[in-house]
Amino acid sequence: MPIYCLHKIPLIALALKNLPLKTFCLVLLILLNACSEDKPDPVKNSDQATVSSLVKTGDQVVKSDLEFPVVYVEELDQTQEFYKEQHETSFSFVPKKNWFSYTAGKDGILTKILFFGKPNFQPSDHYGSSMHGFIREGNPDSGAKFGEWDLSRDDIVNQLAAQGMDNRQAGWITIRMRGKIPQIMGKTYYFVCEKIVGGKPWFGAFAFGEGNPYQAGKFWLHPEHDLVFRTYVGKTPDQVTQEQKNKEIVEKLGIEKSELPENPADLPTPLPVSQTTNNVIVQQVDPIPDTIPPSEQTIITQEVPAVNEENLPDNQVEKLNFIQIPPNEDEDQNKSKEEGSLFNRLFKRK
């Protein structure tokens, strides 16, 4: 029996001393039962249970339901490989600062996009750990939305390490596409960044070129700037089958088709070309006539056949007179000085 119930028993006994014994015992049993140690069951739908379920849900990682496209053939489509040294740019998730565009040159499925760059510094107050986005057709804000893509800083570090580079050297960065992203020749597509993980506004350090080197697309930074990039288009089994049928029709018609070049997707990816003045190749031009050595000039004049000027029209005589070299007065003066020199007077030829 709890202690707080014992002090009530004398008071109750005094109050009920005039009652019969049976009635007193009955009242005493009721009081003892009320002071028992049993506790009520907790409410099933308590706040504590709700909090724990929410925490568990927040710990789950949401994965994309889209898979990498299955293609039989992968071909290089669009490319821009001129860059300005010591110039880098990034993507944001804010509209008007989160896209770049290109124009497809082949029909098929977009499989991957390559950028030339390096990982951003970490830790940083401005750069996140990864970015996520998709592809839009025609407009970066309202165009048709296709597929998904992800790129993290760890992905960049691992890819550059596989190329034999450290964290501060730039190299090709591959972004694989998820889902079937159609590519139609002549249409413009936008690579759009939707989210940056880590609560930061920017991601990446990518190279770009100046002077509008890729006129079929744009970059959010400036109309005359273009990212260094490559796009690859794949052919699905149905597309390959259709192309084989078209090839058979062409062969039956007897149309000659030139031998196809080697697939660029199978070749090593070359490094982009720097736009700095130190690496600019100057085109070689023929030397001007004044720079030809005298010996070569003599040979050229000897090959000219003799012409009788009396039998030629006036206009042709003028042309021939134009190439004749008039006597040089300086040479005559030098000759007279040479004859009157002290050496010639002492050792006069006989």
Whether 106 and 9 map to the same domain: the answer is no
The verdict on residue 113 lying in a domain is: yes
Whether 24 and 171 map to the same domain: the answer is no
Mean pLDDT of all residues in 134-144: 96
**Packing angle between helix 8-15 and helix 21-34, nearest 10 degrees?**
150
pLDDT band at 15 (very low <50, low <70, confident <90, very high): low
List pLDDT tens digits, range 51-81.
333 333 333 344 667 899 988 889 999 999 9
Whether 150 and 15 map to the same domain: the answer is no
DSSP string, 180-200: --EE-TT-EEEEEEEEEETS-
Whether 83 and 208 map to the same domain: the answer is yes
Whether 111 and 229 map to the same domain: the answer is yes
The verdict on residue 325 lying in a domain is: no
Whether 21 and 101 map to the same domain: the answer is no
Report which of residues 350 and 222 the model is more confident about.
222
Q: DSSP character for 203?
A: E
Mean pLDDT of all residues in 164-173: 90
When divided into structural domains, the chain yields a total of 2
Residue with the two structure tokens 């510094």:
121
List pLDDT tens digits, range 263-289.
555 555 677 777 675 554 434 444 444
Q: Which of 190, 207, 241 is the last residue of a domain?
A: 241
pTM of the model: 0.57
Whether 22 and 125 map to the same domain: the answer is no
Domain that holds residue 126: 73-241
Confidence at residue 212, expressed as pLDDT on a 0 to 100 scale: 94
Q: Which residues contact 180 (CB under 8 A, 6 or more apart)?
A: 69, 109, 146, 147, 236
Whether 115 and 224 map to the same domain: the answer is yes
Whether 122 and 191 map to the same domain: the answer is yes
The verdict on residue 253 lying in a domain is: no
Q: Are 268 and 164 in contact (CB under 8 A)?
A: no
List pLDDT tens digits, range 107-118.
999 999 999 999
pLDDT band at 305 (very low <50, low <70, confident <90, very high): low
Q: Which of 214, 241, 268 is the last residue of a domain?
A: 241
Q: Are 128 and 156 in contact (CB under 8 A)?
A: no
For the record, the structure tokens of 15 come out as 């109050």
pLDDT band at 30 (very low <50, low <70, confident <90, very high): confident
Whether 89 and 207 map to the same domain: the answer is yes
Task: Output the CA–CA distances (angstroms, integers) from residue 177 to 7, 44, 101, 109, 111, in the order listed.
Answer: 79, 47, 16, 10, 5
Q: Is 210 exposed, middle or buried (0-12, 13-18, 19+ CB in 10 A)?
A: middle
The verdict on residue 320 lying in a domain is: no
Closest CA to 80 of 97, 100, 107, 98: 100
CATH number at residue 142: 2.60.120
The verdict on residue 122 lying in a domain is: yes
Whether 13 and 131 map to the same domain: the answer is no
Confidence at residue 203, expressed as pLDDT on a 0 to 100 scale: 96
Q: What values do phi and psi take at 211, rounded to 5?
A: 85, 20
Report which of residues 29 and 5 the model is more confident about.
29
Mean pLDDT, the chain, integer: 74
Other beta carbons less than 10 A from residue 119's beta carbon: 22
Residue 310's DSSP bridge partners are none
175 vs 172: CA distance, rounded Å:
10
The verdict on residue 9 lying in a domain is: yes
Q: Which of 201, 219, 241 is the last residue of a domain?
A: 241
Percent of the chain scoring above 70 in pLDDT:
57
Q: Which residue type sits at 131?
A: M
The verdict on residue 318 lying in a domain is: no
Whether 163 and 23 map to the same domain: the answer is no
Q: Which residues contact 345 (CB under 8 A, 6 or more apart)?
A: none
Considering only 5-9, 52-56, 340-344, which range has the smallest mean pLDDT?
Answer: 52-56
For the record, the structure tokens of 325 come out as 């070299």
The verdict on residue 54 lying in a domain is: no
